[in-house]
Chains A and B, each alone.
Chain A
Amino acid sequence: MGKKSVIPFGPQHPVLPEPLHLDLVVEDEVVIEAVPQIGFVHRGLERLVQTKDYNQFIYVAERICGICAFGHSMGYAETVERLMGVEIPKRAEYLRVIWHELSRVHSHILWLGLAADAFGHEALFMHCWRLRERVLDLFEKTTGGRVIFSVVKVGGVQRDIDKDMFDQFISTLEGIKDEYKQICDAFLTDPSVYNRTAGVGLIPTEDALNLSMVGPFARASNVGYDVRTLGNGAYGDLSDFSPIVSQNCDCYARMEVRAAEVPQSIDIIEELIAKIPAGDIAVPVKGSPAVDSEACNVVEQPRGECFYYAKGNGTKYLDRMRMRTPTSQNLAGMAVALEGCDVADVNMIVLTIDPCISCTER
């Protein structure tokens, strides 16, 4: 038996875009326990809901995280709409889902780039991020922003997208498909990448279920849960949707699932653009949430299920707003995945849960 020691990992580490600290208890080169520590970017945004009214808070909600910005504003707006019994126009539902899926495309491509960087493939990282820029351009043209969009409001959306712009969406997304396929081939067929990721950070399906894992992290362990199957909003109008799962349960599977979700999102966008109904993009919302009214909601963010809860108190300020983000749910899974791995694999495993610490701490 080797000597036990503790290696601190993070909060500043080349593989981590955000601060996460791990105390790795190692025996020789094997991790026997990993204790996560967060709390470096806690901003108290849930508290802020008591001093920003329910219309203003949407701008706070989307600043929870730069990558999931759209998803948070959509999830928050849907929760408040459910709280107040507001039904939004169908066109607004479609526009929200189109932008949300576009967010998933850019988030997954961003993650693939980070993964490439983690296993030392810097050219691949560069190509991923170059491709992502074209998706961000679509955001800029339709919302005016590349990171924070501010297009969702309680009752609908702020801006419409016209037919010419939708045509640009389709031409851009079709245009990136070939390049994306080449990039995916590098991830999924390159033997050096395969050797680095296959069999690493295993979480069997049963453990994934016991640990309540969500998102691509869970789907890579063959858990077929995806909030989009519940058919909220425009997702209910999709002709066919089934979650992408993998049975390999390792880092390679997590890459495989995310890589396959990008074309799936592009298909969803194209289908909704073909089906989008004409009409209003918002309804006026008046009054305040009733005293002691409560509502909850789930949204499939790029990293997995995000849970929202809101409680009204009769004033225009909410009593409580809760966002349970996918990463906070997946931290337990990450700690378990790290047990028994080599120290050299820690960065790869940590990255494959796609941790979003800003979301987790809010």
Chain B
Amino acid sequence: MAFQQEFVPLELEQLHRAAAVLKVEGWRFIQTHAVNTDDGIDLYYSFMKDGRVVNYRVAGVQKGQAVPSITDLFLAAFVFENEARELFGVDMRDIAIDFDGALYAPAQAEPMTIITPEQKAAREKARKAAEAKAAKDAAPAEAPEGAAPAKGGFVMTPERRARLDAKLATMSPEKVAKVEAALKAREAEAAASGSNTASGSAQAQASAPAADSREATQEKAAGATAATAAAKDADLEAKLATMDPAKAAKVRAALAGKAAASEAAVEAAPAAAEEPLAERFADEQLEALIGLMDDEKAAVVKKALNMKEGK
């Protein structure tokens, strides 16, 4: 029994039903918390069974949108639901022990939803940098499917050239010279290894270490980040061009392997979290589970469900 964590999306409409199913299945309620996001408030409901912690995420709850309390099933949630209401402004309904805004009675309404402009700007910058990095990492994966660029490795398209010129305009003359030299070396290398498909596809992956080492610079200047990365990319290419071809091919193959492994890990993660939620929390499944319980327990769950559904 080892610790495992999962994050699973859940619809708001399914929330109370899901809690009922989890209770019947013997999951232990851990906690509820809220996270402020651009799209509203994300509510997390954590449950544990046999060392497995599943965090159900109800995303984007809007102001004024009613959220049913689960305290009729898990009384321990009352503190967290009161907290979500006071600190995040979530409209929690029917909490068993309702403090009605007097739990912490904060001086400022919904204090956890306040984000300063500086924080917002820093987050936006980091998000853009991450998206740029993801796009760069994704591009080489598609490259082998293309016809000519995959065979020949690096190809300077007019769009690329235009983007590069814009970046070069912001750089120092020494750096510009270095990039230009590296580019020439890269083009020469691409022409030389045109028929070598293995190194051709691996070449495109060479941006991986540059992307890794770039992390520290992300926060310094968003505009300079992409340019720095391009320069590092070019530096690496220049270094590879001066290396023994056999050694360069090995380095490229290793980099390609590393990138492929990280891609595989990214793909595996969401797959593990996916569960057939709609089926799991369907009526028939719930009825079957309630049928397995003793009468007293089944009555409690049925009563809670009926009350929520207004029967």
Residues of A within 8 A of B (CB): 35-39, 42, 44, 46-47, 50, 82, 209-213, 225, 229-232, 286-288, 290-291, 294-298, 305, 307, 309, 311, 313-317, 319-320, 322, 324, 328-333, 335-336, 360-361
CB distance A329 to B215 under 8 Å? no
* Secondary structure call for the B interface: mixed
CB distance A296 to B53 under 8 Å? yes
Give the distance in Å from the alpha carbon of A212 to the alpha carbon of B130 in the complex. 39
Give the distance in Å from the alpha carbon of A204 to the alpha carbon of B307 in the complex. 27
1/0 contact string of B18-48 vs chain A (CB within 8 Å): 0000000000111101011000000010101
Give chain B nearest CB distance to A331 CB in angstroms.
6
Give the distance in Å from the alpha carbon of A324 to the alpha carbon of B76 in the complex. 11
Give chain B nearest CB distance to A39 CB in angstroms.
5
State whether the Cβ of B184 lies closer than 8 Å to any Cβ in chain A.
Answer: no
Q: Which of B1, B44, B74, B119 contacts A229 (CB 8 A)?
A: B1
CB distance B123 to A309 under 8 Å? no
Q: Provided the pairs A209-B28, A286-B215, A307-B46 are in contact, do residues A36 and B33 lie with their beta carbons within 8 angstroms?
A: no
Give the distance in Å from the alpha carbon of A230 to the alpha carbon of B2 in the complex. 5
Give the distance in Å from the alpha carbon of A260 to the alpha carbon of B28 in the complex. 25
5 contacts between A and B (CB under 8 A): A313-B127, A314-B126, A315-B219, A322-B31, A324-B80
CB distance B218 to A314 under 8 Å? yes
CB distance B76 to A329 under 8 Å? yes
Give chain A nearest CB distance to B117 CB in angstroms.
13
Q: Provided the pairs A229-B1, A232-B3 are in contact, do residues A319 and B76 lie with their beta carbons within 8 angstroms?
A: no
1/0 contact string of B86-129 vs chain A (CB within 8 Å): 00000000000101001111100001100100010011011101
Give the distance in Å from the alpha carbon of A167 to the alpha carbon of B68 in the complex. 56
State whether the Cβ of B177 lies closer than 8 Å to any Cβ in chain A.
Answer: no
CB distance A39 to B78 under 8 Å? no
Q: Which residues from chain B contact A329 at a C-beta distance below 8 Å?
A: 30-31, 76
Q: Provided the pairs A296-B55, A317-B122 are in contact, do residues A286 and B216 lie with their beta carbons within 8 angstroms?
A: yes
CB distance A39 to B102 under 8 Å? yes
Q: Which residues from chain A contact B102 at a C-beta distance below 8 Å?
A: 37, 39
Q: Which of B7, B53, B75 contacts A211 (CB 8 A)?
A: B75
Count of CB-CB pairs between chains A and B under 8 Å: 126
Q: Which residues from chain A contact B75 at a C-beta distance below 8 Å?
A: 210-211, 332, 335-336
Q: Provided the pairs A286-B215, A361-B104 are in contact, do residues A50 and B80 lie with their beta carbons within 8 angstroms?
A: no
Q: Which residues from chain A contact B35 at a C-beta distance below 8 Å?
A: 311, 319-320
Nearest 8 CB-CB pairings of A with B: A314-B126, A324-B31, A332-B75, A287-B215, A291-B130, A332-B76, A42-B104, A212-B29
Q: Which residues from chain A contact B216 at a C-beta distance below 8 Å?
A: 286-287
* Secondary structure call for the A interface: mixed
Give chain A nearest CB distance to B295 CB in angstroms.
14
Q: Which residues from chain A contact B126 at a C-beta distance below 8 Å?
A: 288, 291, 313-315
Q: Which residues from chain B contact A209 at a C-beta distance below 8 Å?
A: 28
Give the distance in Å from the alpha carbon of A35 to the alpha carbon of B75 in the complex. 13
Residues of B within 8 A of A (CB): 1-3, 5, 7, 28-31, 33, 35-36, 44, 46, 48, 51, 53, 55, 74-76, 78-80, 97, 99, 102-106, 111-112, 115, 119, 122-123, 125-127, 129-130, 215-216, 218-219
Give chain B nearest CB distance to A35 CB in angstroms.
6
Give chain A nearest CB distance to B112 CB in angstroms.
6
CB distance A38 to B31 under 8 Å? no
Give chain A nearest CB distance to B262 CB in angstroms.
11
Q: Which residues from chain B contact A305 at a C-beta distance below 8 Å?
A: 30
CB distance A230 to B31 under 8 Å? no
Give the distance in Å from the alpha carbon of A44 to the alpha carbon of B112 in the complex. 9
Q: Which of B44, B105, B127 contacts A309 (CB 8 A)?
A: B44
Give the distance in Å from the alpha carbon of A282 to the alpha carbon of B46 in the complex. 31
Give the distance in Å from the alpha carbon of A211 to the alpha carbon of B78 in the complex. 11
Q: Which residues from chain B contact A39 at a C-beta distance below 8 Å?
A: 99, 102-105
- Given pairs A230-B1, A230-B51, A324-B30, 17 additional interface contacts (CB within 8 A): A39-B104, A42-B106, A212-B30, A213-B76, A230-B2, A231-B2, A287-B216, A291-B127, A291-B130, A296-B5, A298-B53, A305-B30, A307-B31, A309-B44, A316-B219, A322-B44, A332-B75
Q: Which of A212, A231, A288 contacts B76 (CB 8 A)?
A: A212
Give chain A nearest CB distance to B250 CB in angstroms.
26
CB distance A212 to B74 under 8 Å? yes
CB distance B33 to A309 under 8 Å? yes
**Shortest Cβ distance from B265 into A: residue:** A85
Q: Which of B5, B7, B33, B112 contacts A324 (CB 8 A)?
A: B33
CB distance A322 to B33 under 8 Å? yes
CB distance A309 to B76 under 8 Å? no
Give chain A nearest CB distance to B170 CB in angstroms.
22
CB distance A212 to B28 under 8 Å? yes
